[in-house]
Amino acid sequence: MSKIKFKRVLLKLTGEAVSGEGGYGIDQKVVRNIALEIKEIHEMGIETALVIGGGNIFRGSIAANAGMDRVTADYMGMLATVINGLALQDALEREGVNTRMLTAIEMRQVAEPYVRRRAIRHMEKGRVVIFAGGTGSPYFTTDTTASLRAIEINANVILKATKVDGVYSADPVKDKNAVKFTDLTYMDVLQKDLKVMDATAISLCRDNNLPIIVFSLMKKGNIKRVLTGEKIGTIVKGG
């Protein structure tokens, strides 16, 4: 049996993680595959919370650049995360995983309102918790939501699932000289402006000494690999 490194984790999934070709919409097959991976770590006894983004449906900043009121656009983005959250919840429950979705914007017919103590209690009872609706405030991102919620629930680590297998010095798709980092400090990320998470999200992790592991979701079994201590992505932590 491989050793489990973490007791409670927060997995950040971008909206694109549940989309099909082209990064738009929701592909149920893709969602099911993610659900199966989450089920696997859940069955290992790891308390699991999820933060889901909404970029596959709506991104506030893009709509604002096209002329929409920024706050309205951001609320639309936050609602998009709820749609993704429901898709994830459905896929998890179909695999027999008990879940609760908690939203930062109240919509009681759809999900429970976010209450920190409830979230922790759900995890202690073996339920996977889905945090949707972002922080509930415009001008933030779901990466910042992930940092905030992870700190609030005392998670041991943020797992940031991406399409790339870690953090690179440049975009590895565009630049063949890009090198992959295995270890970074929060300051490295901020000073070199590396595309891990936005600066607000990184600062929150730095101030609270919360490690982030960036890894690829494209390879099956990677979530489990990370949690059993395999060094497959990039870890960001204090220097």
List interacting residues with ligand UDP (CB under 6 A). Answer: 14-16, 53-55, 59-61, 73-74, 77-78, 80-81, 134-135, 137-138, 140-143, 145
Three-state DSSP state, 47:
strand
For ligand UDP, the closer CB: 115 or 179: 115
For ligand UDP, the closer CB: 134 or 233: 134
> CB-based burial of residue 209 (10 Å sphere; 0-12 exposed, 13-18 middle, 19+ buried)?
exposed
| Minimum distance from residue 1 beta carbon to ligand UDP (Å) | 33
In terms of Cα–Cα distance, which of 117, 56, 126, 64 is closest to 87? 56
| Minimum distance from residue 83 beta carbon to ligand UDP (Å) | 11
Give the residue closest to ligand UDP by C-beta: 53
| Minimum distance from residue 146 beta carbon to ligand UDP (Å) | 9
Between CA 90 and CA 196 the distance in angstroms is: 29
| Minimum distance from residue 96 beta carbon to ligand UDP (Å) | 27
Question: Within 13 A of 151's CA, how many CA atoms are on the CB side?
Answer: 15
Three-state DSSP state, 181:
strand
For ligand UDP, the closer CB: 48 or 81: 81
For ligand UDP, the closer CB: 14 or 99: 14
For ligand UDP, the closer CB: 85 or 166: 85
Looking at residue 114, the DSSP 8-state letter turns out to be P
**Strand ranges, E, within 53-116:** 99-103, 112-113
